[in-house]
Structures are given as structure tokens and as C-alpha cells.
Structure 1
Amino acid sequence: MAIIFGLQLLAIVIVCLMGFYNVAPLSAVLVLIVIISVLSWFAARRQWAPVSRLAQAVSDWDEHSSGLDGWRPDQLPRRTDADVATLASSLYGFANRIAGYNQRERNFTRDASHELRSPLTVIKMSADMLADDASLGDFGQRSVQRIKRSTREMEALVEALLILARESDNGLTEEDFVVNDVIRHELPDVMEMLEGRPIHLELEEPARFVLHGSPRVFAVLCWQLIRNACQQAEGGTVVVTVMPGVVTVSHRGEAVPSHGANRHGFELAIAQRISERFHWPLELQTREGRRHVARIRFPESTPAPV
């Protein structure tokens, strides 16, 4: 490009000198300047053509495949500009890494979904059978209940991690759903998790609203916030409140003493990542007595029909 514009400048200077010294008439000088400019434009366009084709290839690129096979270093023309060759080679390597990452992500979510859920199902079935065994004493029943509670928590954790692992393809069905109905549907499982602990769960519904998205993602997010509230509580009541466009999870009762502050954090980290991923702002507050309040806002919610 520098050579093209340098030659153009030199030719225009020569033509102007010819006109200045009356070697050529003014009309001829103007015609020559136009011809030189047009030829320079065609030459520059020809040199820029590989960059334009590369930009178009990147624009049409599908992240699930390399999509830049025509720009492999060994397939570029021999006279390709060095900068264009370097750019094409870098983009080709980047596209292949992205395609490999997407393939590993799909393999992981598929395998993990099967390999993690299947043992949990077996554990749940075995725990249910043990719970029906009349020969078990009180200690055995308490142990079975702890197994069932831990299994349910593990299921919620696996579900949350699989949702977060699907970066490029959510694999989730989106629909319009009433958040109150989803929360009420999840309450029995949450109460089962709290069995044996002096913690009660309440649902307050001053409002009802509809949200467009994945009900499973919403349920997992509420699960994590409720688990976090239960981890911070020695007793009392965990309250889930549904307000217009807002869901609040708070604790009423005895809070965890200061030496138990490390009993939470992982659930909140997962909840924050889900809220950032699906653009549902999460606000955390600490009130008197070290009682924590989690508030989720849904900007695109609509009131539920009566």
C-alpha cells in the first residue's frame, strides 16, 4: 500500500510539473491526474481484497466449527501479504480452539449429566427403601434422613453447575411462567432438605408476576439462595417473599454466631453467576443481628393475570 501511494504521489507531482512548465495543457494534466487516481484506487482495492474476504469469512463464521479452512496457512496464495497471512493464521488457530472448546463443553455436559445423576438416583432409591425398613432404630432413621437431605442438595448443586457449564448452548426451554407457581412447586423438596433442623419455611405472596425464561434456572437460583439462608441460620424461619418483579429470601430468627461465618459463600457464588448469566440482578443486604437478605430483581417481568 505504501508503494502504491508513493507512486501515485510521484506521478501526480510529475504531471503537475508538466503543466507548470507548459509541457502539457491543463486539460491533459487534469485527465492524467484522474487516470492516476483511478489506477491507484484499483491497485489499492486489489491489495485490500484479501482483508475484505477474511473479514467476510469471520463475519460468516460459525463458532461450532472452525469455518476458516480456506485460510489455513498452507492454503494461502504464495503472494499473500505477510500481515494478512499472520492475521489469517492467528484467526484460524483461534477458530479451531473455540470449536474444540465447544465440543469439550458438549461432551462434558452430556457425560456429567448422565454419570452424576444416575448414582444420585440410585442413592435416593436406596435411602427410600431403608427409610421404609421397620427394623431401623432412631439413629438409623436420622442417618437415612441426612443421606436423603444431602442427596437432594447434591442434585441441586449438579443442576446449577450444569446450567453454568452450558456457555454456548443453554439446552434449556424458555417459556412464560408464573414465579409463584414454580416456587410453590419446589417447596416440598426444600422442606425435605430442612427435615430434622429447627428451621421453618414460609412463602409470602403479596404479588404474582410472570417471567419469560427457563423455570428450571429460576428454581435452581431460588434453591441456592434458600440453601444459603439455611446455612446461616441456627433456627427460626426462612421467608420467601414475592413482590412485583422481585423475589426476596430472608431469615427471621436466630442467626449464626460470628465463628460460623464461613458456613456460607459457595451457594451465593453460584447464585451470583446465574444472576449475571441471565441478567437477573441479585442484591445482598445485612441487617441487624447479622441477618442476611437476598433480593432478586427481574426487569422484564409482567403482572400475572388474575
Structure 2
Amino acid sequence: MQKTTNRITRRITIAFLIFGVVLTLMLGLGLVAAFKSVEKTMLDDILAAELQHFRSEIENAHAHSFFHSRTTSIYVAPLDAISRLPEHVRHLSQGKHDLVYKNRNYRVLVKDIDSNRYIVKFDDTSIREREQEFINLTWIYSITVLIVALVIGLKASHQIIRQIKQLANQITSFKNKPDAYLDLSQFNNDEIGILAREIQHYHDQLQQTLLREKEFARNVSHELRTPVTSISLAAQILAMKKNLSVEERNRIQRIQRAVDEMSELIETFLLLAHNSSKPTKKYNFVDCEVGPIVHRVIEQQRIWLGSKPVDVVVKEKEQLIVSAPSGAISVLVANLVRNAFLYTEQGTTIVVITSSKLKIIDTGIGMDPSTQAGVFNHRARTNLGDMNKIGGFGLPIVQRICECYGWKVFFESKQGLGSQFTVLFNVSRQHKLDKIA
């Protein structure tokens, strides 16, 4: 969060600095351009006035063919005797010129009147020096403005970011504290204050929704326990009857397996509902071996294979022991195995068990990219023709279980070739120590 606020502060400061640079350049260059324009206009007016005065003096026979003062020099020569003019102005064309001669700056007016060429030269060295001083002052002013803009930008950004930091810190403290509230007294009645109140309102609504969902899941799960228990007892009583045919006994066993699966689902949903508001809470579960659960779940889910020519292979390379309820592991494995059985028409389904991973590989129909993008979404639906009657994949439940226990689930799938789902477990620390020993 500190890096984020620093970036915002830096952006605000840079914005002020850029604004200062642009404003200073516009003002500075404008002033310099205006100064130069006024300077040239004034000099040109002086040259024209001097020429007019000189010609009037000639007409009154009070002037010679040249005139010279401290700042102004005027030369006159017939057009057919230009060589009489000083060499440094002799080749200048008609018009106004800037001339440097003997380290002095001059503004020169060259004009042909009647049969004579008039050259008026004005020494503007002192004016150029004042101009350079003005430009230097403009630079100093510009740098001062930039420093002021930088200081204002820093202060303004820190003032703006201060309340944002307060809001961000309070929101961060919400983590794992569903009953926390923002201290709205720290915020003014401005946009940040309005945002803080809206966040608090949204937080309250979200917590109420989570509590309602949690309570609903608990109530539904508890209410389901009674009929599930009744079905289980009824199945046990039916199984105790003598002279049952093989088909009848298989049906009763199927009912018992379904009841066991339903009980595991209820326990898992209760646990997920309890952890929904405190997902990081840790529980000390008994270590559970995954291998026997996988074998049992495969037998429970074989009903989805029917008579399809699909071989099921279990490769238990290493013993896998995790700290989690057996019911949650059963639900996770059941969803993955059921999907593999449902969407594999022929070929092989391979279940690989290692010391930290569970892989389920099938040669089924696979998934297209659009289906893969939403495979863990509760609203995801299969796009596989007749398989739509099944609904979703059950993978959102798998993901919720993995999130609850800190496991990871990922998959690879190619349409027409099959899919591979991998669950990476946090293996029991005690089991690791036992293996090392």
C-alpha cells in the first residue's frame, strides 16, 4: 500500500511540476519575444526618425555627406559611387539589418532615396546587454516558479494522500475482522469522506449477506441430517433381511453409498459455511490417508460409467497423508472422478497418487477454451451436447475446498483428447518428519 500511495504522490507532484514548466515557458518565452519585438520596433523607429532628420538637415545645407554621434552614424553616397561607403556596410542590401562590428552591436537601416543610398547605423550594444540581463532574470524567475510549483505539488499531494492513506489503512484492518468499522470521524465531508461511508455501507451489506448465507447453509445442512439418517437406518434394516437376491442387495448397497456420500457433502458444506467468514482459521484435523478414500470413491462413482468401455487405473506411487476431514477429501475426489467418468466414452481414466499430489487423467472429450475459462465458475455449464443435463462440473466445490485448506488445483485440457486435473496438497508436517526418520 505504501508503494501505491507513493506513486500517487509522485504523479500529483509531477503534474504540478509539468504545469509549472509549461506555464513558465509560456510566460518566459512570451516576455522575451515581446521584449525583442518592442526593441526592434523602437530601434527601427529611431533609425527612420534619424534618417528623416538628417535629410531635412541636408536640404537646409546644414549637414555633410555623413553624420556621426555617440550612438548613431549616417552615411550617404550616390548609387554609382557605393565604394565611398565604409566597407563593413557597403554590401548591405536595402532594408533593416543586425550587424556586429568591432565587438559592438548595431541596428542598420539601408535605404535608397532618389539617386543616393542612405545608411543609418545605431549602436544598440547597451540595449542588447539590458536584453541579456532581462533574459537572465526571466530564467531566474522561471526556476523560482518551478521550485515553488514543486513545493506546492509536494504539500498538496501529501495533503490529498493523507486521507487516502487513512482510508486504505482502515480498510486493510478489515481483513479477518468482519465486525470492524471505519472511523468516519477522520474524514471530511468531501469525496473521500463519501467514499469511506459508501465502503462502510457496502461492508455492512456484505457481512449481512455472508451471515445469512452461512446461517442458511447451517440450517439446510442440519435439516438434511434427519432424513439422511432415516434413509441410512432404513437401508441398514433392509440389508438385515434374509433371502435377499443379489440385485436387491446391490441396490441396498447403492443406497447406503449414496447416503454416505450425502453425509460427507453435508459435513463439507457445514465446514465451508463455517469458514466462509474466516477462511484463514486453522484447525487441528487428524491426519487422513488419501489412498483408501480414492479407492472407495471410485467404487461409489462407477455407476456413471455404466457399460462404457473405460478402464480405471489407480497408480499409488507413494503414500499421501493430509490433515483434513475425510469427508472433505471424499467430496473433492468424488467431483473429479465423477467428471472423468461422465465425460469419457471410451479409453482410460488414470488416478495417480504421490506423496503430495493427486492426478486424475482421462481420455474423454476434453474442454474447449471458452469452457476452460469458466470451469471454476458456479454459473459454468457444459457445452458438450447431451451432457448438458448434468449441469456444471462440480469444480467450484473443489476449488472452495482447496481454498479452505490451502491446497491448489489446476488442470490441462484439450478438446477431443481429454483432461488432467491435479490437486497439490499441503502434506502433513508430522508425516514428512516420519518419512525423513
TM over 0.5: yes
- Please list every run of 5 or more consecutive structure 1 residues that lacks an aligned counterpart in the other structure: 10-32
Residue 167 (structure 1) aligned with residue 276 (structure 2)? yes
Q: CA deviation at 1:96?
A: 0.9
| Residue matched to 1:64 | 178
Quickly say closer, same or farther: Cα 1:244–1:55, change in 2 above 3 A.
closer
RMSD of Structure 2 on Structure 1 (CA):
4.9
Instruction: Give the distance between the partners of 2:398 and 2:270, measured in 1 at CA.
Output: 15
Q: Which letter maps to 2:259?
A: T
CA distance in 2, matches of 1:212, 1:136: 40
**Which amino acid in the other structure matches residue 206 of structure 1?**
K
Q: 1:1-306 maps to which residues of 2 (within 5 A)?
A: 53-61=166-174, 63-68=177-182, 70-71=183-184, 80-134=188-242, 140-159=248-267, 161-162=269-270, 165=273, 166-170=275-279, 173=283, 177=287, 181-185=289-293, 187-188=295-296, 190-192=298-300, 194=302, 203-209=314-320, 211=322, 216-232=327-343, 239-243=350-354, 245-250=356-361, 261-262=387-388, 266-270=392-396, 273-274=399-400, 277=403, 278-285=406-413, 292-298=418-424, 305=435
Give the drift of 1:129. 0.9
Amino acid at match of 2:410: L
Taking the aligned partners of 1:286 and 1:45, their CA distance within structure 2 comes to: 53
Deviations 1:144-163 (A, max 9, x none): 34433433343444455555
TM-score w.r.t. length of structure 1: 0.60
Where does structure 2 lack aligned partners over 5 or more consecutive residues? 1-15, 21-146, 365-383
Determine which structure has greater relative contact order: mean sequence separation of CA pairs < 8 Å that are 6+ residues apart, divided by chain length: 1
Rate the CA distance shift 1:90–1:244 in 2: closer, same or farther, 3 A: same
Instruction: Give the match for residue 112 of structure 2.
Output: none
Counterpart Cα distance in 1 of 2:258 and 2:345: 18
Aligned in 2, Cα 1:296/1:162: closer, same or farther, shift over 3 Å? farther
| Residue identity (%) | 20
Task: Number of aligned residue pairs: give it.
Answer: 259
| Cα deviation, residue 300, structure 1 | 5.7
1:208-265: CA deviation from partner (whole Å, max 9, x where unpaired)? 3555666654432212122223334679985432135432234699xxxx97644756
CA distance in structure 2 between the aligned counterparts of 1:220 and 1:274, rounded to whole angstroms: 11
What is the CA deviation profile of residues 4-35 of structure 1, one whole-angstrom value per residue up to 9, with x for unaligned ones?
A: x9xxx9xxxxxxxxxxxxxxxxxxxxxxx99x
CA–CA distance in 2 between the matches of 1:251 and 1:48? 54
SS in 2 for 1:90: helix
Structure-2 separation of matches of 1:279 and 1:293? 20
Matched residue type, 1:101:
T
Q: Cα 1:146–1:95, aligned 2, differ >3 Å: closer, same or farther?
A: same
- After superposition, the Cα gap between the structure-2 partners of 1:246 and 1:51, relative to the gap in structure 1 and judged at 3 Å, is closer
Q: Secondary structure at the match of 1:240?
A: strand
Separation in structure 1 between the aligned mates of residue 361 and residue 303 of structure 2, nearest angstrom: 19
Partners of 2:339 and 2:363 in 1: CA distance: 14
What is the one-letter code of the residue matched to 1:269?
L
Give distance in 2, aligned partners of 1:215 and 1:223.
Answer: 12
